[in-house]
Structure 1
Amino acid sequence: MRAFSTLFIAAAFALSANAASVNKRAISAPVQLCIDSISSAGAQLEVVNTAVLAFTSSAGIGGANKIHTLEQELETRLKKAGVDCCVDVGTITLPEADAVLDTVQVLVPKVTDALSAITSKKSQFDAIFLATTIVKTDIKALDAQTKTLDACLIAKTPTDPPSYLETANGYVTEINNAFAAARSAYGI
């Protein structure tokens, strides 16, 4: 009986490991690269958001430039994600779509939080000569990069079942609304 239990446990572990490798193989290398690039942009977005939340006008133009430098790295990562995600890999599978949408789902609140932080700090940026101009430029650049990435993701999202496209469009709408609020707050 004991040998049977040990054998059963070993078999369960083997099946678990095999299922994990099959699941990992369900994501093609190009789609995994896209996911990794989106995740990288999300990590940099957190860095930018932390800097924005800590920012006060007492940091001066140097503090505003520091945030701008962090934003430029975010912009670079978004461009890379756009390139990596917009590669023509043909039709993506439903497991790949699930993986991409799961990654985007994690990113959406980070985007909305960061844009909300930028909006809430407007008076702090306004208090520094040229800082608001820098922020406006950054918002426009990030919005443009995000729209490029959004367009690629929507184009590659499976339409059957329709829930995939509905989910993707919901995420895009949420991000677009956050950018619209930031643009409005800064008079862009």
Structure 2
Amino acid sequence: MRAFSTLFIAAALALSANAASVSKRSIRPEVQLCIDSITSAGAQLEVVNTAVLAFTSSAGLIGANQIHSLEQVLETRLKKAGTDCCVPIGTITLPEADAVLATVKILVPKVTGALSAITSKKSQFDAIFLATTIVKTDIKALDAQTKTLDACLIAKTPTDPASYLITANGYVTEINNAFSATRTAYGI
């Protein structure tokens, strides 16, 4: 009985490893590059969010500029994701759409959380000369880069079955609503 259990576990592991390699092969390199770029932007977003959450007005303009520098890296990564995801490869396949949407699903709460943090720290930024101006510029730039990326992803999302496009539009709407609330809080 023990030998059977061991054999069953080994077979299950081999099948899951094989399934993972088949799944990986079904994603074209261009789509994987898009996924990797989105993931990279998400990692930098976490760095920015951590800095924003720790920020207080006592950090002064130097602290605000440090966050701005981190935002510039995020903006660069978002531009790269926009470039990588907007290559003319046509509509992506269903397995590719699954992979992209899974990546975006992880990113959405990070985006909304970061924007909420920026909104909650407005009074801290307002207490520093020019800091709010810097934050407003960053919000506008990130919003523009995000909209570019969103448009590309929506354009490439399969429409059959309709659930893919519904899911993608839901993610975009959630991000747009978060940006809208942040823009409103900062009077943009």
Q: Give the percent of matched residue pairs that are identical in Structure 1 and Structure 2.
A: 87
How many Å apart are 1:16 and its aligned residue? Answer: 3.0
CA 86–6 in structure 1, closer or farther in 2 if over 3 Å, else same: same
| Correspondence 1:39-50 to 2 at 5 A | 39-50=39-50
How many Å apart are 1:17 and its aligned residue? Answer: 2.6
Partner of 2:131: 131
Partner of 2:154: 154
Unpaired stretches in structure 1, ≥5 consecutive residues? none
SS in structure 1 at match of 2:184: helix
How many Å apart are 1:26 and its aligned residue? Answer: 1.3
Q: Deviations over 1:133-167 (max 9, x none)?
A: 00000000000000000000000000000010000
CA 21–59 in structure 1, closer or farther in 2 if over 3 Å, else same: same
SS in structure 1 at match of 2:99: helix
| Correspondence 1:1-188 to 2 at 5 A | 11-188=11-188
Task: Supply the distance in 2 between the matched residues of 1:12 and 1:116 (Cα, whole angstroms).
Answer: 43
SS in structure 1 at match of 2:170: helix
Task: Supply the distance in 2 between the matched residues of 1:4 and 1:143 (Cα, whole angstroms).
Answer: 56
Task: Supply the distance in 2 between the matched residues of 1:92 and 1:119 (Cα, whole angstroms).
Answer: 35
8 Å contact kept, 2:122–2:132: yes
Q: Deviations over 1:45-72 (max 9, x none)?
A: 0000000000000000000000000000
Task: Supply the distance in 1 between the matched residues of 2:79 and 2:52 (Cα, whole angstroms).
Answer: 21
How many Å apart are 1:28 and its aligned residue? Answer: 1.0
Task: Supply the distance in 1 between the matched residues of 2:145 and 2:10 (Cα, whole angstroms).
Answer: 49
Task: Supply the distance in 2 between the matched residues of 1:146 and 1:5 (Cα, whole angstroms).
Answer: 49
Task: Supply the distance in 2 between the matched residues of 1:120 and 1:5 (Cα, whole angstroms).
Answer: 54
Q: Deviations over 1:78-104 (max 9, x none)?
A: 000000000111221101001100100
Aligned length: 188
TM-score by length of 2: 0.94
CA-atom RMSD in angstroms:
1.6
CA 179–13 in structure 1, closer or farther in 2 if over 3 Å, else same: closer
